[in-house]
Chain A
């Protein structure tokens, strides 16, 4: 386990934020950690599951940053499925 800084944003928000996640976090947790800084603060919450996109590709919920080959400061986009 290691701390992993990423640039993240929730679809519809206005800015990229720094999010500190863990390289073994599943994408569901990564999405929550990024959304914590956005959803309910600037972006209205939706009753739908969140997904993570890296370089335009939707990632599996159980994938980790290590398993998808993400690099520090990669840009992760959180979208509602």
Chain B
């Protein structure tokens, strides 16, 4: 076998593009699965990935990663490290595994769609690696929690979650189906790899890996670091796809795809990562507030990338900056109050030290959000913890599927009105948490109008009996699996809240 430098044979073996003669282009690349957005077939052949790798190199690298990772797991899983983790960190990783593990496997469906229906051979080659990456991530993030099932049975939600109708999973599935499971190849490259992976997860995984090491969770830290190295590679499918679209005069298409998914990713990110960073991670191990993290790593760095390609900030940019001040604080209140509806034990994270930290990072937090915790804390101290539990359901947004918290934004002085956005369409009333969520829906109403939110299902008689107990059973949560206060209300019995 000749030992040529890779640069001498790579392009030749990679670029297996040819003119179609036996079938039409639409037959080979059906628009529903591929969607060229009017860019001619040959123009796509200029697609060129910035990170090149041959299959033998890929296999060699991945085998090395797995060898290192499983060595760590083999040692750590037999230690007492998990038992000694902070309850907040346990909440964060249980939430992570349930929300992410099977979604990674679903991402392999999106990658394999690009591997078949991507518009250039180079892209299909890259996406094949991406498919294998995402399978690996799905397998790793179900195997690692499986190893610790004897310590925390609800780690089985790493596999179970996406097979249920738990409300947070409905929200995650709604956005991920839109982003990759049921998306065309070109849109997937822009919305999954460029917007979500480059903009959010790549950076999130770096941050989470660092946090995991600080709290002493070596297993999770090694896992996330290893996954991130794959993400950093296959996320680069977005850039050449974007370049082809922009060069062909389709910048408006790319901008629209990016705008829609950046907002959708933000809503999920604020729910999952916002809580983990500002409430679940032990205070002594926090390096950034969620808002600081967003400002530095998402808004500034990612926006620089938008501009490198001639794209603009999304039209709702000011609304995004506004929500960064308050929305995840409201989501945390909601997840805590409705804690039986999640598979982890939320910690309140509002003891005196945490409140001082929150006030420092979010000036005015004690007045705007601390007041709710004051009432709940008084109820706990008075011997009525049942008053911190729900008897009804929050209204959820018909776009992001997350509770509508506009009253919190209004009460905290960030919104002009506490009212949600509504739309009457086809005899149904739809409610939205924000103008961008309504905009996402109205861009393609035929895509979203038939979906039933958890509240629609309750009112439509699908959830029986229509009670908290009926809803918990519908969501796949047995009494033993329902979330409870992660610290047994220690936060409420601590000394009086700090006033800053």
Binding site for B on A (CB under 8 A): 5, 7, 9, 11-20, 36-37, 40-44, 71-73, 75, 77
Contact = CB atoms under 8 A, between A and B. Distances in A.
Given A7-B431, A42-B375, A17 B395 contact: yes
B407 A16 contact: yes
Most chain B beta-carbon contacts within 10 A, residue among A14, A73, A77: A14
Interface stretch (B7-15, B234-242, B329-337, B339-347): B329-337
A14 B372 contact: yes
A57 to B, nearest CB: 13
Interface bin, chain B: 35 or more
Interface string B19-35: 00000000000000000
Given A71-B429, A73-B431, A16 B404 contact: yes
A12 B409 CA distance: 10
B207 interface: no
A9 B379 contact: no
26 contacts: A9-B407, A11-B418, A12-B407, A12-B411, A14-B334, A14-B372, A14-B405, A14-B408, A15-B334, A15-B395, A15-B405, A16-B406, A16-B407, A16-B420, A18-B392, A19-B392, A20-B392, A37-B390, A37-B391, A37-B392, A41-B387, A42-B372, A43-B372, A43-B375, A73-B431, A75-B420
Contact of A5 (B330, B333, B459): B459
Nearest to A19: B392
Interface of B: 330, 333-334, 337, 369, 371-372, 374-376, 379, 387-388, 390-395, 403-408, 411, 418-420, 422, 429, 431, 455, 458-459
A14 B455 CA distance: 18
B423 to A, nearest CB: 11
B429 A72 contact: yes
Contacts of B429: 71-73
Given A15-B333, A36-B391, A42 B407 contact: no
Contacts of A14: 330, 333-334, 369, 372, 405, 407-408, 411
A11 to B, nearest CB: 7
B330 A41 contact: no
Contacts of B372: 13-14, 42-43
- Majority secondary structure, B binding face: helix
B394 A41 contact: no
B341 to A, nearest CB: 13
Contact of B394 (A17, A20, A40): A17
Nearest to B338: A15
Most chain B beta-carbon contacts within 10 A, residue among A11, A15, A17: A15
A41 B376 contact: yes
Given A14-B333, A15-B334, A15-B403, A40 B375 contact: yes
B394 A16 contact: yes
B334 A17 contact: no
B422 A75 contact: yes
Contacts of A71: 429
B393 A17 contact: yes
Nearest to A20: B392
A16 B392 CA distance: 11
Given A40-B375, A42-B376, A18 B455 contact: yes
Nearest to B409: A14
Contacts of B374: 44
Nearest to A36: B391
A7 B420 CA distance: 10
Contacts of A18: 392-395, 455, 458-459
Contacts of B337: 41-42
Contacts of A12: 371, 407, 411
Nearest to B388: A41
A62 B404 CA distance: 29
B443 to A, nearest CB: 23
A20 B468 CA distance: 14
